[in-house]
Protein backbone atom coordinates (compact mmCIF):
# COMPACT_ATOMS: atom_id res chain seq x y z
CA UNK A 1 0.00 0.00 0.00
CA UNK A 2 1.46 3.34 -1.04
CA UNK A 3 1.79 6.02 1.64
CA UNK A 4 0.57 9.45 0.61
CA UNK A 5 1.19 12.46 2.85
CA UNK A 6 -1.85 14.73 2.86
CA UNK A 7 -0.91 18.14 4.23
CA UNK A 8 -4.01 20.02 5.35
CA UNK A 9 -5.72 16.61 5.50
CA UNK A 10 -8.09 17.70 8.29
CA UNK A 11 -9.37 20.62 6.20
CA UNK A 12 -12.39 20.74 3.92
CA UNK A 13 -11.02 19.34 0.66
CA UNK A 14 -8.20 17.36 2.30
CA UNK A 15 -10.56 15.37 4.55
CA UNK A 16 -12.79 14.33 1.64
CA UNK A 17 -9.68 13.37 -0.34
CA UNK A 18 -8.49 11.16 2.53
CA UNK A 19 -11.67 9.08 2.08
CA UNK A 20 -11.12 8.78 -1.67
CA UNK A 21 -7.49 7.72 -1.11
CA UNK A 22 -8.50 4.95 1.28
CA UNK A 23 -11.24 3.77 -1.10
CA UNK A 24 -8.61 3.53 -3.83
CA UNK A 25 -6.03 1.57 -1.88
CA UNK A 26 -3.67 4.34 -0.77
CA UNK A 27 -2.63 4.86 2.86
CA UNK A 28 -3.07 8.56 3.69
CA UNK A 29 -0.84 10.13 6.31
CA UNK A 30 -2.37 13.37 7.54
CA UNK A 31 -0.22 16.38 8.42
CA UNK A 32 -2.14 19.38 9.76
CA UNK A 33 -1.58 22.08 12.37
CA UNK A 34 -5.36 22.47 12.83
CA UNK A 35 -5.05 26.23 12.31
CA UNK A 36 -8.26 26.07 10.25
CA UNK A 37 -9.71 22.70 11.23
CA UNK A 38 -10.37 20.47 14.21
CA UNK A 39 -8.52 17.32 15.30
CA UNK A 40 -12.03 15.84 15.70
CA UNK A 41 -12.03 15.46 11.90
CA UNK A 42 -9.56 12.58 12.26
CA UNK A 43 -11.93 10.63 14.55
CA UNK A 44 -14.78 11.32 12.17
CA UNK A 45 -12.77 10.14 9.18
CA UNK A 46 -11.97 6.94 11.05
CA UNK A 47 -15.67 6.45 11.73
CA UNK A 48 -16.62 7.00 8.08
CA UNK A 49 -13.90 4.77 6.65
CA UNK A 50 -13.52 2.25 9.48
CA UNK A 51 -9.77 2.69 8.96
CA UNK A 52 -7.05 3.55 11.48
CA UNK A 53 -5.38 6.74 10.32
CA UNK A 54 -1.90 8.03 10.93
CA UNK A 55 -1.87 11.76 11.63
CA UNK A 56 0.67 14.32 12.77
CA UNK A 57 -0.01 17.72 14.32
CA UNK A 58 2.68 19.62 12.45
CA UNK A 59 3.01 23.09 10.97
CA UNK A 60 4.57 22.61 7.51
CA UNK A 61 6.55 25.82 8.07
CA UNK A 62 8.62 23.79 10.53
CA UNK A 63 10.92 21.75 8.31
CA UNK A 64 12.40 19.60 11.07
CA UNK A 65 8.97 18.46 12.20
CA UNK A 66 7.97 17.73 8.64
CA UNK A 67 11.08 15.67 8.14
CA UNK A 68 10.09 13.35 10.98
CA UNK A 69 7.12 12.19 8.88
CA UNK A 70 9.47 11.19 6.06
CA UNK A 71 11.95 9.53 8.41
CA UNK A 72 9.19 7.41 9.93
CA UNK A 73 7.44 6.38 6.72
CA UNK A 74 8.28 5.44 3.15
CA UNK A 75 6.34 8.09 1.21
CA UNK A 76 5.19 7.62 -2.39
CA UNK A 77 3.74 11.12 -2.85
CA UNK A 78 2.40 14.26 -1.25
CA UNK A 79 -0.88 16.10 -1.78
CA UNK A 80 -0.26 19.59 -0.51
CA UNK A 81 -3.50 21.23 0.62
CA UNK A 82 -2.07 23.08 3.64
CA UNK A 83 -2.30 26.83 3.29
CA UNK A 84 -4.43 29.84 4.01
CA UNK A 85 -7.20 30.55 1.52
CA UNK A 86 -9.24 33.67 2.33
CA UNK A 87 -8.85 36.34 -0.35
CA UNK A 88 -9.96 39.27 1.85
CA UNK A 89 -7.69 38.24 4.72
CA UNK A 90 -4.78 37.93 2.30
CA UNK A 91 -5.28 41.56 1.25
CA UNK A 92 -5.25 42.66 4.91
CA UNK A 93 -2.37 40.34 5.97
CA UNK A 94 -0.23 39.67 2.89
CA UNK A 95 2.91 38.65 4.80
CA UNK A 96 1.00 36.05 6.76
CA UNK A 97 -0.11 34.54 3.44
CA UNK A 98 3.31 34.65 1.80
CA UNK A 99 4.90 33.18 4.94
CA UNK A 100 2.51 30.32 5.38
CA UNK A 101 1.75 29.37 1.80
CA UNK A 102 5.24 29.80 0.34
CA UNK A 103 7.36 28.53 3.24
CA UNK A 104 5.24 25.43 3.71
CA UNK A 105 5.52 24.59 -0.01
CA UNK A 106 9.29 25.13 -0.08
CA UNK A 107 9.69 22.90 2.98
CA UNK A 108 7.54 20.17 1.49
CA UNK A 109 9.59 20.10 -1.73
CA UNK A 110 12.94 20.20 0.10
CA UNK A 111 11.99 17.37 2.41
CA UNK A 112 10.60 15.33 -0.49
CA UNK A 113 13.85 15.86 -2.38
CA UNK A 114 15.95 14.75 0.58
CA UNK A 115 13.91 11.56 0.95
CA UNK A 116 13.68 10.79 -2.74
CA UNK A 117 9.93 11.20 -2.88
CA UNK A 118 8.99 12.35 -6.37
CA UNK A 119 5.24 12.86 -6.74
CA UNK A 120 3.58 16.10 -5.68
CA UNK A 121 0.02 17.28 -6.20
CA UNK A 122 -0.52 20.95 -5.48
CA UNK A 123 -3.89 22.62 -4.72
CA UNK A 124 -4.02 25.51 -7.11
CA UNK A 125 -7.10 27.51 -7.94
CA UNK A 126 -9.16 29.05 -10.71
CA UNK A 127 -8.10 32.34 -9.18
CA UNK A 128 -4.87 32.09 -11.23
CA UNK A 129 -6.90 32.95 -14.34
CA UNK A 130 -7.96 36.33 -12.90
CA UNK A 131 -10.72 37.88 -15.01
CA UNK A 132 -10.67 35.50 -18.02
CA UNK A 133 -11.00 36.85 -21.56
CA UNK A 134 -13.83 34.36 -22.18
CA UNK A 135 -15.54 31.33 -20.68
CA UNK A 136 -15.19 28.38 -20.43
CA UNK A 137 -11.63 28.62 -19.19
CA UNK A 138 -8.97 26.31 -20.68
CA UNK A 139 -5.70 25.39 -18.96
CA UNK A 140 -3.65 27.36 -21.48
CA UNK A 141 -5.43 30.67 -20.85
CA UNK A 142 -3.18 33.53 -19.70
CA UNK A 143 -2.64 33.72 -15.95
CA UNK A 144 -3.22 36.88 -13.99
CA UNK A 145 -3.82 37.40 -10.29
CA UNK A 146 -5.28 40.30 -8.37
CA UNK A 147 -4.66 39.58 -4.67
CA UNK A 148 -1.96 38.10 -2.40
CA UNK A 149 -3.77 34.77 -1.99
CA UNK A 150 -3.93 34.32 -5.75
CA UNK A 151 -0.35 35.48 -6.05
CA UNK A 152 0.82 32.71 -3.66
CA UNK A 153 -0.89 30.16 -5.92
CA UNK A 154 0.66 31.58 -9.08
CA UNK A 155 4.10 31.93 -7.48
CA UNK A 156 3.97 28.33 -6.32
CA UNK A 157 2.93 27.14 -9.78
CA UNK A 158 5.96 28.96 -11.19
CA UNK A 159 8.32 27.68 -8.47
CA UNK A 160 7.21 24.11 -9.17
CA UNK A 161 7.62 24.52 -12.92
CA UNK A 162 11.19 25.73 -12.36
CA UNK A 163 11.80 22.85 -10.01
CA UNK A 164 10.69 20.11 -12.42
CA UNK A 165 12.87 21.58 -15.15
CA UNK A 166 15.88 21.21 -12.87
CA UNK A 167 14.74 17.81 -11.51
CA UNK A 168 13.21 15.78 -14.34
CA UNK A 169 12.56 12.79 -12.04
CA UNK A 170 10.21 14.88 -9.96
CA UNK A 171 6.54 14.89 -11.03
CA UNK A 172 4.17 17.74 -10.25
CA UNK A 173 0.43 18.03 -10.80
CA UNK A 174 -1.12 21.48 -10.55
CA UNK A 175 -4.84 21.07 -9.93
CA UNK A 176 -6.82 24.25 -10.46
CA UNK A 177 -10.01 23.91 -8.44
CA UNK A 178 -13.12 25.84 -9.31
CA UNK A 179 -15.70 26.25 -6.48
CA UNK A 180 -15.99 23.21 -4.20
CA UNK A 181 -19.21 22.95 -2.18
CA UNK A 182 -21.20 20.08 -0.66
CA UNK A 183 -20.21 17.56 1.95
CA UNK A 184 -19.76 13.85 2.54
CA UNK A 185 -23.11 12.01 2.65
CA UNK A 186 -22.57 11.05 6.32
CA UNK A 187 -22.80 14.71 7.35
CA UNK A 188 -19.76 14.10 9.58
CA UNK A 189 -17.33 16.27 7.60
CA UNK A 190 -17.87 19.38 5.50
CA UNK A 191 -16.88 23.01 5.11
CA UNK A 192 -16.46 24.41 8.60
CA UNK A 193 -15.34 28.04 8.41
CA UNK A 194 -14.24 30.10 11.39
CA UNK A 195 -16.39 33.20 11.97
CA UNK A 196 -18.59 34.68 9.26
CA UNK A 197 -18.15 32.62 6.07
CA UNK A 198 -16.58 34.22 2.99
CA UNK A 199 -17.95 31.65 0.58
CA UNK A 200 -21.49 31.46 -0.77
CA UNK A 201 -22.47 27.99 0.39
CA UNK A 202 -21.58 28.11 4.10
CA UNK A 203 -23.08 31.61 4.16
CA UNK A 204 -26.41 30.32 2.77
CA UNK A 205 -26.53 27.32 5.10
CA UNK A 206 -25.92 29.63 8.08
CA UNK A 207 -28.84 31.78 6.90
CA UNK A 208 -30.97 28.62 6.64
CA UNK A 209 -30.12 27.59 10.19
CA UNK A 210 -30.88 31.08 11.52
CA UNK A 211 -27.32 32.14 12.41
CA UNK A 212 -27.28 34.89 9.80
CA UNK A 213 -30.36 37.00 8.93
CA UNK A 214 -30.21 36.95 5.12
CA UNK A 215 -27.97 36.17 2.16
CA UNK A 216 -26.13 39.15 0.74
CA UNK A 217 -26.08 38.89 -3.05
CA UNK A 218 -23.13 40.96 -4.24
CA UNK A 219 -24.51 42.63 -7.37
CA UNK A 220 -27.37 41.72 -9.73
CA UNK A 221 -26.15 43.86 -12.62
CA UNK A 222 -23.43 41.63 -14.04
CA UNK A 223 -23.54 40.69 -17.69
CA UNK A 224 -24.92 37.21 -16.92
CA UNK A 225 -28.35 35.64 -17.63
CA UNK A 226 -29.90 36.77 -14.31
CA UNK A 227 -27.40 39.50 -13.42
CA UNK A 228 -25.74 37.62 -10.53
CA UNK A 229 -22.21 36.18 -10.59
CA UNK A 230 -21.71 32.79 -12.25
CA UNK A 231 -19.30 30.17 -10.88
CA UNK A 232 -18.45 26.53 -11.52
CA UNK A 233 -19.59 24.72 -8.36
CA UNK A 234 -18.20 21.21 -7.94
CA UNK A 235 -19.14 18.67 -5.27
CA UNK A 236 -16.19 18.24 -2.92
CA UNK A 237 -16.44 14.43 -3.27
CA UNK A 238 -16.06 14.76 -7.06
CA UNK A 239 -13.11 17.08 -6.51
CA UNK A 240 -11.58 14.60 -4.05
CA UNK A 241 -11.79 11.86 -6.68
CA UNK A 242 -9.81 14.08 -9.04
CA UNK A 243 -6.83 13.71 -6.70
CA UNK A 244 -6.79 9.90 -6.67
CA UNK A 245 -7.18 9.85 -10.45
CA UNK A 246 -4.21 12.22 -10.68
CA UNK A 247 -2.09 10.00 -8.43
CA UNK A 248 -2.89 7.00 -10.63
CA UNK A 249 -1.92 9.00 -13.70
CA UNK A 250 1.37 9.97 -12.04
CA UNK A 251 2.13 6.30 -11.45
CA UNK A 252 1.77 5.59 -15.19
CA UNK A 253 3.03 8.64 -17.04
CA UNK A 254 6.52 9.86 -17.86
CA UNK A 255 5.32 13.46 -18.08
CA UNK A 256 6.55 15.42 -15.15
CA UNK A 257 4.22 18.41 -15.28
CA UNK A 258 0.47 17.89 -15.31
CA UNK A 259 -2.02 20.77 -15.19
CA UNK A 260 -5.77 20.26 -14.92
CA UNK A 261 -8.89 22.30 -14.31
CA UNK A 262 -11.18 20.53 -11.88
CA UNK A 263 -14.75 21.76 -12.13
CA UNK A 264 -17.99 20.57 -13.72
CA UNK A 265 -17.72 22.69 -16.86
CA UNK A 266 -21.07 24.29 -16.02
CA UNK A 267 -21.64 27.76 -14.61
CA UNK A 268 -24.39 28.45 -12.06
CA UNK A 269 -25.51 31.87 -10.87
CA UNK A 270 -25.99 32.92 -7.26
CA UNK A 271 -29.77 32.86 -7.85
CA UNK A 272 -29.60 29.33 -9.27
CA UNK A 273 -27.72 28.16 -6.18
CA UNK A 274 -30.23 29.96 -3.96
CA UNK A 275 -33.15 28.28 -5.71
CA UNK A 276 -31.63 24.80 -5.53
CA UNK A 277 -30.97 25.40 -1.86
CA UNK A 278 -34.58 26.46 -1.34
CA UNK A 279 -35.61 23.10 -2.81
CA UNK A 280 -33.20 21.29 -0.49
CA UNK A 281 -34.40 23.04 2.68
CA UNK A 282 -38.06 23.22 1.62
CA UNK A 283 -38.65 26.95 2.15
CA UNK A 284 -37.76 30.39 0.82
CA UNK A 285 -34.40 31.84 1.87
CA UNK A 286 -34.22 35.58 2.63
CA UNK A 287 -31.72 37.62 0.60
CA UNK A 288 -30.84 41.21 -0.18
CA UNK A 289 -29.02 42.62 -3.17
CA UNK A 290 -25.99 44.65 -2.07
CA UNK A 291 -23.27 46.30 -4.13
CA UNK A 292 -20.67 44.31 -6.03
CA UNK A 293 -17.57 43.18 -4.11
CA UNK A 294 -14.37 44.74 -5.44
CA UNK A 295 -12.39 42.20 -7.44
CA UNK A 296 -15.35 39.86 -8.12
CA UNK A 297 -15.74 38.83 -11.74
CA UNK A 298 -18.97 38.15 -13.66
CA UNK A 299 -18.39 34.61 -14.87
CA UNK A 300 -15.93 31.85 -14.17
CA UNK A 301 -16.34 28.26 -15.27
CA UNK A 302 -14.01 25.60 -16.53
CA UNK A 303 -13.50 23.54 -19.59
CA UNK A 304 -12.64 20.14 -18.06
CA UNK A 305 -12.05 18.11 -21.27
CA UNK A 306 -8.36 17.68 -20.48
CA UNK A 307 -9.03 16.10 -17.08
CA UNK A 308 -11.72 13.91 -18.66
CA UNK A 309 -9.48 12.73 -21.52
CA UNK A 310 -6.28 12.23 -19.56
CA UNK A 311 -7.58 11.22 -16.11
CA UNK A 312 -11.06 9.88 -16.83
CA UNK A 313 -12.35 12.63 -14.53
CA UNK A 314 -16.18 12.86 -14.61
CA UNK A 315 -18.35 14.57 -12.04
CA UNK A 316 -21.30 12.66 -10.61
CA UNK A 317 -23.19 15.15 -8.45
CA UNK A 318 -25.49 17.96 -9.60
CA UNK A 319 -26.18 21.31 -7.95
CA UNK A 320 -29.14 19.96 -5.99
CA UNK A 321 -26.99 17.12 -4.55
CA UNK A 322 -24.39 19.70 -3.56
CA UNK A 323 -26.98 21.88 -1.81
CA UNK A 324 -28.63 18.94 -0.08
CA UNK A 325 -25.37 17.57 1.30
CA UNK A 326 -24.21 21.01 2.47
CA UNK A 327 -27.51 21.45 4.27
CA UNK A 328 -27.26 17.97 5.81
CA UNK A 329 -23.79 18.83 7.17
CA UNK A 330 -24.96 22.19 8.53
CA UNK A 331 -27.98 20.64 10.26
CA UNK A 332 -25.90 17.92 11.87
CA UNK A 333 -23.21 20.42 12.93
CA UNK A 334 -24.99 23.67 13.79
CA UNK A 335 -21.86 24.95 15.56
CA UNK A 336 -19.32 23.38 13.23
CA UNK A 337 -17.08 20.40 14.04
CA UNK A 338 -16.56 20.67 17.80
Ligand X SMILES: NC(=O)c1ccc[n+]([C@@H]2O[C@H](COP(=O)([O-])OP(=O)(O)OC[C@H]3O[C@@H](n4cnc5c(N)ncnc54)[C@H](O)[C@@H]3O)[C@@H](O)[C@H]2O)c1
Options 2, 27, 34, 296; binder of ligand X; rule CB under 6 A = 34
Q: Specify the length of the chain in residues.
A: 338
Candidate ranges 35-43, 260-268, 271-279, 304-312; the one touching ligand X (CB under 6 A): 35-43
Q: Does 177 bind ligand X (CB under 6 A)?
A: yes
Please choose, out of 5-13, 71-79, 269-277, 324-332, the segment that lies near ligand X by the rule CB under 6 A.
5-13
Q: Applying CB under 6 A, which of residues 130, 148, 180, 202 lies at the interface with ligand X?
A: 180
The answer to whether 12 contacts ligand X (rule: CB under 6 A) is yes
- C-alpha span between 3 and 26 (Å, rounded): 6
- Give me the least distance between CB of 126 and ligand X, in Å please: 7
Indicate the residue among 62 and 167 with the shorter CB distance to ligand X. 62
CA-to-CA distance for 221 and 137, rounded, in angstroms?
Answer: 22
Stretch that binds ligand X, among 33-41, 134-142, 219-227, 254-262 (CB under 6 A): 33-41
Nearest Cα to 18, choosing from 237, 307, 248? 237
280 close to 327: Cβ distance less than 8 angstroms: yes
Residue 330 as a binder of ligand X (CB under 6 A): the answer is no
- Is 37 among the residues that bind ligand X (CB under 6 A)? yes
318 conformational bin, left if phi > 0, alpha if psi -120 to 50, beta if neither: beta
Task: Look at residues 310, 224, 318 and name the one whose alpha carbon lies nearest to residue 264.
Answer: 318
Chain positions 87 to 106 lying near ligand X, rule: CB under 6 A, are 100, 104
> Distance between CA atoms of 335 and 61, rounded to whole angstroms?
29
**Cβ-based nearer residue to ligand X, 117 or 239:** 239
Site membership for ligand X, residue 202 (CB under 6 A): no
Q: Considering only CA atoms, give the Rg of the chain.
A: 19
Render the burial of 24-61: b for 16+ CB within 10 Å, e for the rest. Answer: eebbbbbbbbeebbbebbbebbeebeeeebebbebbbb
**Distances from the Cα of 227 to the Cα of 178, 203, 275, 312, angstroms:** 20, 20, 15, 34
Q: Identify the residue among 21, 55, 77, 85 touching ligand X (CB under 6 A).
A: 85
Q: Which is nearer to ligand X, 76 or 81 (CB)?
A: 81
In angstroms, give the least distance from the CB of 12 to ligand X.
4
Phi/psi at 110 (5° precision): -60, -45
Region near ligand X per CB under 6 A, out of 68-76, 176-184, 223-231, 320-328: 176-184
Q: Which of residues 43-72 bind ligand X (CB under 6 A)?
A: 59-61
If phi > 0 it is left, if psi is from -120 to 50 it is alpha, else beta; for residue 195 that is left
Catalytic residue numbers? 149
Contacting positions for ligand X (CB under 6 A) = 7-8, 10-14, 32-37, 59-61, 81-83, 85, 100, 104, 123, 125, 177, 179-180
Amino acid sequence: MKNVVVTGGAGYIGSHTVISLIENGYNPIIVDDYSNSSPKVIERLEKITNYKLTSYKINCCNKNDLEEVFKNNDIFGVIHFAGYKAVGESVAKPLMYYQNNLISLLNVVEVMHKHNCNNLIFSSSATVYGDPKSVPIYEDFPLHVTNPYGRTKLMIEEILQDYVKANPNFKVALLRYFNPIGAHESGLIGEDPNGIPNNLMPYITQVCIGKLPYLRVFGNDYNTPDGTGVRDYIHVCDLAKGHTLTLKKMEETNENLLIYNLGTGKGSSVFEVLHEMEKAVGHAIPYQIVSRRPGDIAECYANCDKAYKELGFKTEYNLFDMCKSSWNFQQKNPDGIK
